[in-house]
Chains A and B, each alone.
Chain A
Amino acid sequence: MNSITISTDADGIATLMIDVPDQSMNVIGPDFIADLDAAITRIASDDAIKGAVIASGKDSGFMAGMDLKYFGSMLATSDGSRPQPSAIFDQVFVLNQLFRRLETCGKPIACAIEGTCVGGGFELALACHRRIVGDSPKTRLGLPEILIGLFPGGGGSQRLPRLIGVQAALMYMLQGKLFRPAEAAMLKAVDQVVPQGTALETAREWVKANPNAASQPWDVKGFKFPGGAGGFNPAFVQTMVGALPMTLKQTQRNMNAPIALLSAVYEGAILPFDRAIRVESKYFARVAADPQAGNMIRSLFVNKQAAERGARRPKDQPKAPTMKLAMLGAGMMGAGIATVAAQAGMEVILFDRDIAYAQKGKAHVESVLSKRLGKGMTPEKLAATLARVTPTATYADLAGADFVIEAVFEDVAIKAEVTKQVEAVLGPDVIFGSNTSTLPITKLAGAWSKPENFIGVHFFSPVEKMPLVEIILGKQTGPAAIAKALDFVAQIKKTPIVVNDSRGFYTSRCFGTYVQEGAELVAEGINPALIENAGKQLGMPVGPLAVSDEVSIELGYKVMTAAKKELGDAYVAQRSDDVMTQMVELDRLGRKNAKGWYDYPENGKKALWPGIADLFPRAEDQPDVEAVKERLLYRQLVECARCFEEGVLETPEDGDIGAIFGWGFAPYTGGPFAHMDTVGIAHVVAVLDRLAATHGDRFAPTAQLREMASTGGTFYRPAPSRAAA
């Protein structure tokens, strides 16, 4: 036994101190399961033990969920094939039975929670007879499994509804929402909140004072769910009938975990507890056997964290945190970057060519931060953060900055001029980052004497909210610049991807194809409502026409015109170019002038512009929604594959994280590359060939895809089911 230490005091109260070795946070793995099993046997059989308290021996918190490596091993099969639900059930039900043994061992068990207690950790707590939480503003409890494509499968989906009622339990579990301690106590998810650091002592006292409190409420005859349950309880029926559409609003029909969770709660509600957890484990096994959860865990969790911890950072470079940032351009983007930098504790010189603009930028910082007052922001903190931002219109004020980010007008000549002015003050050894979203980094780097110190740092708007930063390497960008940029991203707690230079880089280029395919569909006379619904059904946050309005049709038009001008004869014209041109000529620019694909009435909801049908007469034969979804999806997939083949992307990890967090690519897939691996490259190629034959070369699969299809290759190596092992 190396993850749990048992000590018994003079009163016969055993303390189970959990400290899983080699882990910063307690997680549930095979050793812990074996240790808890042994501990329960001892508590039950040792007459000297009157009851027990479970606590954490780590300062990092009580316990998180299952060790993802262990979870992966459950999904592994000897031949790399997809796992069978029955095989997964046998493994996951072990934990469920173990927690069940804990709560039926015949002696009172209390749980002393200090710090984070989520997932399997919270499920362990729910299997105790009393939950006592040390109060701290940072402590969170609950069942967030749904966020990684799973649902609580260690009895949580059965115990929480029995404790706090079906409706409240579903509300938290379906959204993966966590409880603050007081909130948990109010809902009765925990029994007692005590001052921080006193949970263990309180728990011991409770066990001592309650030697007979060894039954869960659901094991007492006559137990009823708070608020009721079962098909003849109107409140329960209403909750169940309503929970599905509410879930579909969030997930369309793309996520299997929330549906399985609903079924587990619904079916479990009229079962005795031992049968209920068995049904829960069966649904859990079904969800776990689907590649969806594995894909989501890999991209949204494992790889995202790895990126944030510097997966792409050159290892030999010394730490290079930014102390003083020279922020050039105080518009929306510049002010946004200034905000997050100042919040991270950096000094920010906010430069614009006119001091009034610079001051306006600082006012933006203030307004953004003021909105967070009361939500973790105090007036003192606000004042201190603002004091770190210095607006200026004088280049000389940039002196002393150790990192530069430029977010001035998107024009090569203007950017070059600014770049040179900055170099005159700071010298070429400082790292210079450009927040351009479209202009080639290699070209812009020409204005800095040491192009190895020039790098692209592409932020997304609004900067305060968007989680991704796309780092773009010019041809000559060196390791010091990469390290500096990645350290900066880490300081502002965002997620980086690293890509190579290309028109539109990775995210803008691939996101653009979603919008363009929407325009192609419109041009063919496809019902715009069908196009929009298809986009949403695909799992994109909004339809292609709606997002086109949001970023503005005019912007797309400008990017297209610039590319045409620069590429000359090499430019490949698309039908969507004409569509954008027509719209711009009609002054239908997007949401910015309240006229785009949609009309935006002042006192009402936006509605698709009826004039679309005049411009692009409705085709007599309308496609099936699946056909529209397929085009919107595969147009993006093929562009992602091109980025991979061309070397814009060096890893599928960057591609998947960038897609999900950059342009909202259907998160349930784990990203475009995970999706292609999952459906099979041969299938992808077959679909692309078919689409290319009907709709044009923009769908033509890459040579690399064909090669992979013929050799059984995948983007991730080894294949997902093995990777999980």
Chain B
Amino acid sequence: MEAYIYDAVRTPRGRGKPDGSLHEITPIQLATQTLEAIRDRNAIDTADVDDVILGCVTPVGEQGADIARTAVLNADYAQTTPGVQVNRFCASGLEAVNIAAAKVMSGEALFAIGGGVESMSRVPMASDGGAIAMDPAVAYKTYFAPQGIGADVIATKFGISRDDADAYAVESQKRAKMAWDEGRFAKSIVPVRDVIGQIVLDHDEHMRPDATMQSLGALKPSFTALGEEMPGFDTVALLRYPELERVNHIHHAGNSSGIVDGAAAVLVGGKDIGDKYGLKPRARIRAMASIGSEPLIMLTGPEFVAGKLLSRARMTAADIDLWELNEAFASVVLRYMQAMKLDHDQINVNGGAIAMGHPLGATGAMVLGTALDELERSGKGTALINLCVGAGMGTGIIIERI
């Protein structure tokens, strides 16, 4: 059975700090408001939603205890609708959509919703512990190093300079500004409301459209101390990549993804259930894939995901009209462009997480929605959407506009 995307919504992204607009909004509210929007915009009986899958990367505290089922109940969905929280680190939101699609394709679900949520200002990243970094025997076996070190290793290994990364970041900011100015995200954005119904945020507030090479040039690299001094993760990197003399630390707050709060949801279903509600499918899902690769460099997965996706879909890179890769770090996208032989014109045309931020669990569903909107705006046919993922994974999807 084919799976179609009927709708995609997201909250604006709030700065993930105590002064961020969404800091006072609980993560369950972020998720609830996106689920409400999916239901209300499409006027569906939620009894036909056979599952809600939400990505969340730090599922502890108020994001714990299956936030997906909690959000289903809180959004007044039919109590027959279950919910499950998944964690594929930075691709959780897309993985949730892929699972939703798989459920539709297998006939398990009529409608399924995939999405994600992360309030990084309220539930700090990595506050769930985890053996991969913390258990010495595991970290030893896997050569654990934080993702920023991996991003810098990518830059070193593939000859990406600080200037390359900064130039990419400046362009990302420009594109995001242009996209907002032209209303390119309007179809997907669901403003977030507070407990008395006021809108607290209706735009991405992390953006720095005035960033220049000069202003970024003033920023200090973020991972130099972590790598070279305390505790010295470059040692681990060189143990894994002995062909490098040293790690060139090029990433900083300005050419890495921003820490933000947000949520997103995507409605997936088969042809018949769409017809029941008179809904027009917006895109067909052509292929889905996840991969694992070397975990220390961690973030070169997307090129392998792309290969797997294209081969599963019996397509070539030339068949893809639009490329979207989450801007976790500038080097991740620049390496992907090298590997896939892409021009910057073909990828992330409306900017990305460097400008707008990366709410870990939600981003995957957000970038999917962004690509879908852009296909419709530009009249293009196919898009390959992809994210690099912690521990060397990657998750992607190919969609085709209808």
Which residues of chain A have C-beta atoms less than 8 A from B134's C-beta?
231, 237, 240-241, 266
Contact present for A245 and B236 (CB under 8 Å) = yes
A contacts with B, residue count (CB < 8 A): 31
Interface string of B130-141 (1 = CB under 8 A from A): 100111110110
How close is B90's CB to chain A, nearest CB, in angstroms? 19
Partner of B137, one of A252, A259, A533, A607: A259
Contact present for B243 and A527 (CB under 8 Å) = yes
> Is B219 engaged at the interface, CB distance under 8 Å to the other chain?
no
How close is A626's CB to chain B, nearest CB, in angstroms? 10
Contact present for B127 and A245 (CB under 8 Å) = no
Q: Which of B199-207, B227-235, B301-309 contacts A (4 or more CB under 8 A)?
A: B227-235
> Is A253 engaged at the interface, CB distance under 8 Å to the other chain?
yes
Contact present for B129 and A262 (CB under 8 Å) = no
> Is A501 engaged at the interface, CB distance under 8 Å to the other chain?
no
Which residues of chain B have C-beta atoms less than 8 A from A263's C-beta?
135-137
Question: Are A529 and B245 also in contact (CB < 8 A) when A234-B127, A243-B136, A266-B136 are?
Answer: yes
Which residues of chain B have C-beta atoms less than 8 A from A418's C-beta?
none
Partner of A625, one of B129, B235, B242: B242
Which residues of chain A have C-beta atoms less than 8 A from B231's C-beta?
241-246, 249
Query: Restricting to B221-241, which residues have a CB under 8 Å from any CB of A?
Result: 230-233, 235-236, 238-239
> Is B6 engaged at the interface, CB distance under 8 Å to the other chain?
no
- Inter-chain CA distance A240–B135, complex, in Å, is 7
- Inter-chain CA distance A298–B232, complex, in Å, is 32
Partner of A241, one of B139, B242, B245: B139
> Is B43 engaged at the interface, CB distance under 8 Å to the other chain?
no
Q: What is the chain A residue whose CB lies nearest that of B227?
A: A245
How close is A31's CB to chain B, nearest CB, in angstroms? 36
Which residues of chain A have C-beta atoms less than 8 A from B126's C-beta?
237
> Is A534 engaged at the interface, CB distance under 8 Å to the other chain?
yes
> Is A412 engaged at the interface, CB distance under 8 Å to the other chain?
no
Which residues of chain A have C-beta atoms less than 8 A from B232's C-beta?
245-246, 248-249
Q: What is the chain A residue whose CB lies nearest that of B124?
A: A234
Which residues of chain A have C-beta atoms less than 8 A from B127's C-beta?
232, 234
Question: Are A253 and B239 also in contact (CB < 8 A) when A237-B134, A608-B245 are?
Answer: yes
Which residues of chain B have C-beta atoms less than 8 A from A532's C-beta?
245
Which residues of chain B have C-beta atoms less than 8 A from A234's C-beta?
127
* Pair count A-B, CB < 8 A: 83
How close is A243's CB to chain B, nearest CB, in angstroms? 7
Interface string of A254-280 (1 = CB under 8 A from B): 000001001100100000000000000
Partner of B136, one of A249, A252, A259, A622: A259
Contact present for A266 and B236 (CB under 8 Å) = no
Which residues of chain B have C-beta atoms less than 8 A from A259's C-beta?
136-137, 140
Question: Are A252 and B139 also in contact (CB < 8 A) when A241-B134, A529-B245 are?
Answer: no
Q: What is the chain A residue whose CB lies nearest that of B233?
A: A245
How close is A263's CB to chain B, nearest CB, in angstroms? 5
Contact present for A530 and B136 (CB under 8 Å) = no
How close is B191's CB to chain A, nearest CB, in angstroms? 34
Contact present for B144 and A244 (CB under 8 Å) = yes
> Is B244 engaged at the interface, CB distance under 8 Å to the other chain?
yes
- Inter-chain CA distance A261–B242, complex, in Å, is 26
Which residues of chain B have C-beta atoms less than 8 A from A232's C-beta?
60, 127, 129
Contact present for B139 and A244 (CB under 8 Å) = yes
Which residues of chain B have C-beta atoms less than 8 A from A240's C-beta?
134-136
- Inter-chain CA distance A246–B230, complex, in Å, is 7
Contact present for A529 and B239 (CB under 8 Å) = no
How close is A215's CB to chain B, nearest CB, in angstroms? 30
Contact present for A248 and B245 (CB under 8 Å) = no
Which residues of chain B have C-beta atoms less than 8 A from A608's C-beta?
245
How close is B304's CB to chain A, nearest CB, in angstroms? 21
- Inter-chain CA distance A237–B134, complex, in Å, is 6
Which residues of chain A have C-beta atoms less than 8 A from B238's C-beta?
533
How close is B134's CB to chain A, nearest CB, in angstroms? 5
The winner among B136, B139, B231 for most chain A CB atoms within 10 A is B136
Which residues of chain A have C-beta atoms less than 8 A from B230's C-beta?
242, 246
Question: Are A607 and B129 also in contact (CB < 8 A) when A243-B136, A246-B232, A248-B235 are?
Answer: no
Which residues of chain B have C-beta atoms less than 8 A from A252's C-beta?
235, 239
How close is A306's CB to chain B, nearest CB, in angstroms? 35
> Is A385 engaged at the interface, CB distance under 8 Å to the other chain?
no
How close is B62's CB to chain A, nearest CB, in angstroms? 14
Q: What is the chain A residue whose CB lies nearest that of B134?
A: A240
Interface string of A611-633 (1 = CB under 8 A from B): 00000000000100100000000
Which residues of chain B have C-beta atoms less than 8 A from A527's C-beta?
243
- Inter-chain CA distance A530–B241, complex, in Å, is 9
> Is A537 engaged at the interface, CB distance under 8 Å to the other chain?
yes
Which residues of chain A have C-beta atoms less than 8 A from B130's C-beta?
231
Which residues of chain A have C-beta atoms less than 8 A from B233's C-beta?
245
- Inter-chain CA distance A266–B135, complex, in Å, is 7
Contact present for B136 and A244 (CB under 8 Å) = yes
19 contacts between A and B (CB under 8 A): A231-B134, A232-B127, A237-B126, A240-B136, A241-B139, A244-B140, A244-B144, A245-B145, A245-B232, A248-B236, A248-B239, A252-B235, A262-B136, A527-B243, A529-B244, A530-B243, A532-B245, A534-B242, A537-B242
B interface with A by C-beta (< 8 Å): 60, 126-127, 129-130, 133-137, 139-140, 144-145, 230-233, 235-236, 238-239, 242-246
Additional A-B contact list (9), CB under 8 Å, known A231-B134, A234-B127: A237-B129, A240-B134, A245-B145, A246-B230, A252-B239, A266-B136, A533-B239, A607-B246, A625-B243
A interface with B by C-beta (< 8 Å): 231-232, 234, 237, 240-246, 248-249, 252-253, 259, 262-263, 266, 527-530, 532-534, 537, 607-608, 622, 625
